[in-house]
C-alpha cells in the first residue's frame, strides 16, 4: 500500500511522541497506591511558615511569640531557633520543582501572620503579600493546588504584648481582619482554607504545661513558667480560638465564598485512644480522653457546645457560649482537617494525686493515657519522638469514630508522618535510607484506604508531614520528619530520602 502525505505525517507525529515519552520506572509491588483511593482523592505534603521559612527579619516581617520563645534559654532542647530554618522563603521555587517532580497534587503551607501584619493589625506589609502571591502562583503554574493555613501557632508578639493575645476576646476581631485580608489578596486563587492548626496544642502546650509559646502555666507554683493559670487559661484560650475560627468562616461565607468558590475548615490534632483493658471504666475513660481532645473543638463546630463530659468535670472554669456564638460555630466547617500521628492506651485515673498537685487542665478528664499497656509493653514501634509510636490501625479506628459520632463529615488528613533522629554520626547516605518511614506510610495509608473503601468514611485528601526536614518546635533540629533531608550545615541543601521514590511509585502505579 502506498502512503499518502497525510498518513506519513500522522505516523511521524506518533513516532515523535513515543520518542519523547519516558517510561515510568515504577515498583508496584506495594499493597497500597494511588489506585487504592477514589478518583479525585487529593495527595499532598504539608509545612508551616515558622518551621520552614526562616528570613525572620526580612522584608518587613514582625516578630511572633515563637521568635521570642525560641530565643529564651532552655526552651528548645538543642538551643536552636528558626531564624533560618529551611530557608524556604528564598528557596520556594526550588521546593515547588521538587514537589512537582514527586507528583503531589497539593501543598499545604501556612501564612505568617506577621508577614502580612507585622504588628498583628494595622498597616499591611506589601512585601509579605508579594511573597505569598509569588508562592501561590508558582504552585499553580506547576499544577499544584495551594491549601493555606491562616494560623499555625505564630501569634504576633505585638498582640501578646498589647493584650495577652489569645487570653483576650480582642484577638477575635483582629484575627477576623487578618483572615479577610487573606481572602482579598489571595482568594481568587486559593480554594482551600484552614483557619487554625491544632488549637488543642496551642491551649494545652502553650497555656497548661507551658512547653510551647507563649510558655504560660502554673504547675508547681510557677516553677516552670513565670506566669499563667493551668486550671483556667487553656479553656479561655480554646474558647477564643474557636470564636476566631467562627468569625473568619462567617466573613468568608457572607462576603467571599460564593464568588471565590472555595472551601474552609480547621486542622485538629487527634491521637486515637484505645481502652487499656476491655472494662467499662477504661472504655469510658477512653471516650473522655477523646472528649477532652477532639471533642473539645469539634463538638462546638458540629453541635454548638462543648462535650457534656467537659461541662460536668470542668464546671464554671469552662466558658459558656451565648446563643449567637453557638449558632456562629455550629456547622462552620466545610471539611474537618485531621492531624493524626499515633495511638495511645487510656485507663481510668482512680487516684488523681498528680492532678491535684499540678492543678492543671490535663487532669480534668480523669484519664491516664500512655503508649504502654498494663503489661508494660509499648503499643507499637517507636519513632524518634518520645510521644510517637507507630500504630497504623489507629487511622482506621479514628476515621470510623468521626464517621459514627459526627455524621460522616468530609475529612482531609492534613498531617500524618513520623520522624527520625538527627544523628550527627550517621552518614548522609544512611540518613536517606528511611525504611521505617516507608513502613509507616504504607501501614497508615492501607488503613486509610480500608476506612474509605470498606467502611464508607468520607475522606477526600491526605497530606504527608513533612515535605522537608524542619525546625520541630521545642525539639529544634533533633527531629527529622521530612521526605527530603535538609543539610543544615551546607546551605540547607535538599536530598531525596528513599521515601520520596516510594511516593513517586505510589502516585505512578
The runs of H, that is alpha helices, within 187-322 are 199-207, 233-255, 257-260, 280-290, 296-303, 308-314
Q: Are 282 and 367 in contact (CB under 8 A)?
A: no
C-beta neighbour count of 340 within 10 angstroms: 22
Work out the angle at residue 401's Cα, subtended by the Cα atoms of residues 399 and 403, and round it to the nearest 5 degrees. 70
Q: Which residues contact 218 (CB under 8 A, 6 or more apart)?
A: 225, 228, 229, 230, 231, 359, 360
227: three-class secondary structure by DSSP: coil
**In angstroms, how far is CA 347 from the centroid of its own chain?**
27
* Count of CB atoms situated within 10 Å of the CB of 43: 20
C-alpha cell at 182: 487573606
Q: How many CB atoms lie within 10 A of CB 234?
A: 29
DSSP letter assigned to residue 468? B
Please give, one letter per residue, the 3-state secondary structure of 138-200: HHHHCCCEEEEEEECCCCEHHHHHHHCHHHCCHHHHHHHHHHHHHHHHHCCCCCEEEEEECHH
Give the Cα separation of 246 and 329 in Å (integer): 5
Q: Among 276, 415, 446, 472, which one carries the catalytic annotation?
A: 415
> How far is residue 388's CA from residue 398's CA, in Å, rounded to a whole number?
16
* Residue 435 annotated as catalytic: no
Q: Which H or E element spans position 97?
A: helix 88-102
* CA separation, residue 14 to residues 10, 11, 131, 246 (Å): 6, 5, 42, 55
CA dist., res. 20 & res. 223, Å (int): 67
Provide the Cα torsion 147, 149, 152, 157; round to 10°.
140
Q: For residues 283 and 276, what is the distance between their CA atoms, to the nearest angstrom?
A: 8
Nearest CA-CA partner of 50 in 37, 36, 63: 63
Is 325 one of the catalytic residues? no
Q: Partners of 459 in the beta sheet? A: 411
Q: Which of 53, 198, 274, 446 is catalytic?
A: 198
For residue 496, the SS3 value is strand
Best CA proximity match to 98, nearest among 89, 109, 111, 107? 107
How far is Cα 43 from Cα 435, in angstroms, rounded to an integer? 21
Q: How far apart are CA 152 and CA 292, in angstroms?
A: 21
- Decide: 70 and 81 in contact? Cβ < 8 Å: yes
The residues annotated with a catalytic role in the active site are: 198, 415
Amino acid at each position: 500500500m502506498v502512503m499518502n502525505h497525510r498518513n506519513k505525517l500522522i505516523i511521524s507525529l506518533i513516532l515523535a511522541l513515543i520518542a519523547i515519552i519516558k517510561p515510568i520506572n515504577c515498583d508496584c509491588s506495594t499493597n497500597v497506591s494511588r489506585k487504592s483511593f477514589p478518583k479525585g482523592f487529593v495527595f499532598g505534603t504539608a509545612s508551616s511558615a515558622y518551621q520552614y521559612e526562616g528570613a525572620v527579619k526580612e522584608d518587613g516581617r514582625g516578630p511572633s511569640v515563637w521568635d521570642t520563645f525560641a530565643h529564651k534559654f532552655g526552651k528548645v532542647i538543642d538551643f536552636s531557633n528558626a531564624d533560618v530554618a529551611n530557608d524556604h522563603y528564598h528557596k520556594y521555587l526550588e521546593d515547588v520543582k521538587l514537589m512537582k517532580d514527586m507528583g503531589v497534587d497539593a501543598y499545604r503551607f501556612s501564612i505568617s501572620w506577621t508577614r502580612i501584619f507585622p504588628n498583628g493589625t494595622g498597616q499591611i506589609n506589601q512585601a509579605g503579600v508579594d511573597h505569598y502571591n509569588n508562592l501561590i502562583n508558582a504552585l499553580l503554574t506547576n499544577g499544584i493546588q495551594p491549601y493555606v493555613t491562616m494560623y499555625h501557632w505564630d501569634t504576633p508578639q505585638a498582640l501578646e504584648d498589647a493584650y495577652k493575645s489569645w487570653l483576650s476576646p480582642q484577638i477575635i476581631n483582629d484575627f477576623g481582619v487578618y483572615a479577610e485580608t487573606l481572602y482579598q489578596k489571595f482568594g481568587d486563587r486559593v480554594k482551600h482554607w484552614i483557619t487554625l492548626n491544632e488549637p488543642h496544642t496551642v491551649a494545652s502546650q502553650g497555656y497548661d504545661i507551658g512547653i510551647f509559646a507563649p510558655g504560660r502555666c502554673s504547675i508547681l507554683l510557677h516553677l516552670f513558667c513565670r506566669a499563667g493559670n493551668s486550671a483556667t487559661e487553656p479553656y479561655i484560650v480554646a474558647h477564643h480560638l474557636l470564636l476566631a475560627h467562627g468569625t473568619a468562616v462567617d466573613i468568608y461565607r457572607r462576603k467571599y465564598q460564593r464568588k471565590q468558590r472555595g472551601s474552609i475548615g480547621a486542622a485538629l490534632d487527634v491521637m486515637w485512644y484505645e481502652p487499656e483493658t476491655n472494662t467499662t471504666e477504661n472504655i469510658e475513660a477512653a471516650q473522655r480522653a477523646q472528649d477532652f481532645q477532639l471533642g473539645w473543638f469539634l463538638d462546638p463546630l458540629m453541635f454548638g457546645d462543648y462535650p457534656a463530659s467537659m461541662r460536668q468535670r470542668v464546671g464554671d472554669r469552662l466558658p459558656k457560649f451565648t446563643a449567637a456564638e453557638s449558632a456562629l460555630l455550629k456547622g462552620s466547617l466545610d471539611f474537618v482537617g485531621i492531624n493524626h500521628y499515633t495511638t495511645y492506651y487510656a485507663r481510668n485515673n482512680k487516684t488523681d494525686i498528680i492532678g491535684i498537685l499540678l492543678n492543671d487542665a490535663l487532669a480534668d478528664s480523669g484519664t491516664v493515657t500512655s503508649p504502654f499497656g498494663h503489661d508494660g509493653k509499648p503499643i507499637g514501634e517507636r519513632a524518634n519522638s518520645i510521644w510517637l509510636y507507630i500504630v497504623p490501625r489507629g487511622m482506621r479506628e479514628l476515621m470510623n469514630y468521626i464517621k459514627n459520632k459526627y455524621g460522616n463529615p468530609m475529612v482531609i488528613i492534613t498531617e500524618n508522618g513520623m520522624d527520625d533522629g538527627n544523628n550527627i554520626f550517621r552518614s548522609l547516605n544512611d540518613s536517606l535510607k528511611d525504611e521505617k518511614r516507608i513502613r509507616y506510610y504504607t501501614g497508615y495509608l492501607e488503613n486509610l484506604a480500608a476506612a474509605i473503601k470498606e467502611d464508607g468514611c468520607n475522606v477526600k485528601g491526605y497530606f504527608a508531614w513533612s515535605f522537608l526536614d524542619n525546625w520541630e518546635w521545642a525539639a529544634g533540629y533533633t527531629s527529622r520528619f521530612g521526605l527530603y533531608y535538609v543539610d543544615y550545615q551546607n546551605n540547607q541543601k535538599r536530598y531525596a530520602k528513599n521515601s520520596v521514590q516510594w511516593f513517586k511509585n505510589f502516585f505512578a502505579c
